[in-house]
């Protein structure tokens, strides 16, 4: 896979390791569960968005941008990693974050919000229901009128260029699997804005790998989330190879573990947090990886995988968000 034609800047500590979760696998009675530690990408306490930001901020610098804008929820992991990356690169960063009904002091002040401030980002909070994209476009217009050159990043960094980070990750994990002598039949990942899953699918398709990617929705119904992830995969494949013929059946998103909605807790998520921590010393977050891990556990218990089948969980990070929801621990 040739990514040399795309502007890119090194931000993440790569490759991230793949580790066996032996105690969890034994506790569940199989299959062989492994974790890819994209929570250990390094900068700004790590996470999956750094892979996307390597390409997004690479393009921003190539365009001569002097200010980066992005959007998210109040406790956005993507916003936190964007702020950290901009601090490292000397780029001004503005975050437009949408408030939710969750209004505890920890949610409003701790976790990612605390880190956003430490990284020096300008944070604008808008009310629930307001359009983040419209607010970002309006702010970008103001900056241009002032003679600045803003670069806007969509929610989650999920767009064809950002998703190249996970197309590259597909090649990385395939190479690691060969080195380990393990043939992963499935990769399980949290799906929200769809870019991580879409990028993985596009990358695996490009290298002719038959590894299944199973997305666990953190919000929304299956049909909508699959359509979103498929759109991301097609757009990424088109940018990557010029070929948008990604088979539709390569996209699978399960919505059984999303619960009542985004950042809304479930008992299964709380169990997943406890099992990962107490059996493996692995820290998950309650919004993304906690729900995705609960989905993996649910699938194992339902007999979805053979007991001798190696399964890979992609840990996308987000641990700072745990401190915004101490009631879920």
Give residue-wise pLDDT tens across range 123-166. 999 998 899 999 999 999 999 999 999 999 999 999 999 999 99
> Are residues 94 and 34 located together in one domain of the fold?
no
What parts of the chain have a pLDDT lower than 70?
329
> Are residues 36 and 74 located together in one domain of the fold?
no
> Are residues 225 and 267 located together in one domain of the fold?
yes
Instruction: Say how far apart CA 53 and CA 68 lie, in whole Å.
Output: 11
Active-site residue set = 76
**Residue 138 dihedral angles phi and psi, to the nearest 5°:** -65, -45
* Residues of the domain holding 205: 18-47+159-328
Q: How many residues does the chain have?
A: 329
Domain stops at, among 157, 184, 208: 157
Domain count within the chain: 2
Distances (CA, A) of 11 to 119, 128, 158, 307: 15, 32, 17, 37
pLDDT given at position 218: 97
Domain stops at, among 157, 178, 206: 157
pLDDT given at position 129: 87
> Are residues 199 and 318 located together in one domain of the fold?
yes
> Are residues 42 and 185 located together in one domain of the fold?
yes
> Are residues 131 and 223 located together in one domain of the fold?
no
Q: Name beta bridge partners: 35.
A: 19, 313
Contact by Cβ (8 Å): 100, 263: yes
pLDDT given at position 185: 92
pLDDT given at position 30: 84
Instruction: Say how far apart CA 76 and CA 49 lie, in whole Å.
Output: 11
Percent above pLDDT 90 for the chain: 95
> Are residues 94 and 212 located together in one domain of the fold?
no
The CATH number that applies at residue 174 is 3.40.50.1100
Residue 102, classified by CB atoms within 10 Å of its CB into exposed (0-12), middle (13-18) or buried (19+), is middle
Give 240-290 as a 3 state SS string. HHCCCCCCHHHCEEECCCCCCCCCCCCHHHHHHHHHHHHHHCCCCCCCCHH
> Are residues 172 and 294 located together in one domain of the fold?
yes
pLDDT given at position 50: 98
> Are residues 152 and 175 located together in one domain of the fold?
no
* Dihedral sign (CA 95, 155, 165, 283): positive
pLDDT given at position 28: 97
> Are residues 203 and 117 located together in one domain of the fold?
no
Q: pTM for this one?
A: 0.96
> Are residues 144 and 212 located together in one domain of the fold?
no
CA neighbor of 67 nearest in space, from 93, 96, 95, 97: 93
Domain stops at, among 120, 138, 157: 157
pLDDT given at position 56: 98
Q: Cβ of 296: how many Cβ atoms within 10 Å?
A: 25
Contact by Cβ (8 Å): 295, 304: no
Instruction: Say how far apart CA 49 and CA 66 lie, in whole Å.
Output: 20
């Amino acid at each position: 896979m040739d990514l040399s034609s795309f502007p890119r800047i090194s931000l993440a500590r790569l490759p991230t390791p793949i580790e066996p979760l032996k105690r969890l696998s034994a506790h569940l009675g199989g299959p062989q569960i492994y974790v890819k530690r994209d929570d250990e990408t390094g900068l700004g306490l790590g996470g999956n968005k750094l892979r996307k930001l390597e390409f997004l901020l690479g393009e921003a610098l190539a365009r001569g941008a002097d200010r980066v804008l992005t959007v998210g929820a109040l406790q956005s992991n993507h916003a936190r990693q964007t702020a950290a990356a901009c601090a490292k690169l000397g780029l001004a960063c503005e975050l437009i974050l949408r408030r939710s009904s969750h209004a505890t002091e920890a949610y409003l002040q701790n976790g990612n919000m605390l880190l956003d401030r430490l990284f020096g980002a300008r944070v604008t909070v808008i009310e629930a229901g307001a359009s983040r994209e419209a607010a970002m476009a309006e702010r970008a217009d103001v900056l241009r009128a002032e003679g600045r050159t803003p670069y806007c990043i969509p929610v989650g960094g999920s767009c064809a260029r950002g998703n190249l980070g996970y197309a590259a990750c597909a090649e990385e994990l395939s190479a690691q699997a060969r080195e380990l002598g393990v043939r992963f039949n499935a990769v399980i990942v949290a799906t929200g804005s769809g870019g991580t899953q879409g990028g993985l699918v596009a990358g695996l398709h490009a290298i002719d790998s038959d590894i299944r990617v199973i997305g666990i929705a953190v919000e929304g119904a299956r049909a909508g989330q699959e359509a979103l992830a498929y759109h991301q995969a097609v757009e990424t494949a088109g940018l990557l190879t010029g070929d948008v013929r990604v088979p539709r059946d390569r996209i699978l998103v399960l919505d059984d573990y999303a619960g009542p909605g985004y950042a809304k807790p479930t008992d299964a998520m709380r169990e997943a947090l406890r099992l990962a921590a107490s059996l493996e010393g692995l820290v998950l977050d309650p919004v993304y990886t906690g729900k995705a891990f609960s989905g993996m556990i649910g699938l194992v218990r339902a007999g979805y995988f053979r007991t001798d089948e190696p399964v890979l969980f992609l840990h996308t990070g987000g641990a700072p968000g745990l401190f915004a929801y101490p009631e879920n621990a």
